[in-house]
Chains A and B, each alone.
Chain A
């Protein structure tokens, strides 16, 4: 049982980003362009009430689309998304998010508020960045290995 202040921090206090949202009838070509333009790795697919229906990620792009011709662009996201309404509540903790990402091998989790609507997305990088900032003595100014040259305060 880990008992320290970081694991009990709530999701609402971990810096995260606005999600890329889509309805289930949006074509994936459009979403791929949105992902690239916004430098994101996932789209959260929601219903008319803003509730999570599933996720469309880089993994779905690789595994569920057929690139023999350009017709993949017209496929509707609802037909190729990962149907999984897993989300994390904004009052859940860092430890909860870590466990969910680990157990489900997820890199992104939709964050939902009290009304059940999606209002954010938490990424693995958000968690790691929070850890590194929370424990600067352990993760910053690291002694680089002999093959790395120190060029910044980050140690790399």
Chain B
């Protein structure tokens, strides 16, 4: 079960997600996303995570709503109090949240300290190895159940 029990910390890319204050203008957040290659910024106040702002939010909450990229602060349009994940959480848990809730960037926080964001691309890069693990597990499970069957039914 090694791969499924691998932790989020093993999947995090090398470049960390940008961190901004709630007062940062949207234009600055977009520049930071572009420079970092991440599709989100993490919003931190007094060291604590208070929100996340993504490329999707930029389209939906800024551009489509005709807000100014210079006069709007990220604190006005971010998703506040996002679900947080720990580096020690299972990768299968992160995959569940991405699938079920549609999250593509998960804030990673350790003991209150904001580390980075796990992107859906980080997960996808490793998904085929996760499948291999599941396939092995299921093969093992069916072998075990067969052995059990022969043990109980052998009669000898």
Contact = CB atoms under 8 A, between A and B. Distances in A.
Given A2-B132, A4-B138, A67 B69 contact: yes
Contact of A124 (B58, B120, B134, B135): B120
Given A61-B63, A67-B69, A95-B128, A129 B58 contact: no
Contacts of B128: 2, 7, 95, 98-99, 102
B98 A128 contact: yes
A107 B132 contact: no
A73 to B, nearest CB: 9
Given A32-B59, A41-B56, A138-B4, A155 B96 contact: yes
Interface residues of A, number: 44
Contacts of B127: 98, 102, 127, 131
Interface stretch (B14-22, B44-52, B99-107, B145-153): B99-107
A2 B135 contact: yes
Given A59-B39, A128-B99, A140-B96, A33 B64 contact: yes
Contact of B99 (A98, A102, A139, A148): A139
Given A32-B59, A62-B30, A142 B83 contact: no
B92 interface: yes
Interface string A96-109: 00110110010100
Contacts of A58: 39, 55-56, 58-59
B20 to A, nearest CB: 15
Interface in B87-136: 88-90, 92-93, 95-102, 104, 120-121, 123-125, 127-128, 131-132, 134-135
Kindly state the interface size class of chain B when it binds its partner: 35 or more
Q: Is the interface of B mostly helix, strand, loop or mixed?
A: helix
A92 interface: no
B56 to A, nearest CB: 6
Contact of A132 (B84, B96, B125): B96
A35 interface: yes
B134 A36 contact: no
A31 to B, nearest CB: 10
A138 to B, nearest CB: 6
A99 B131 CA distance: 13
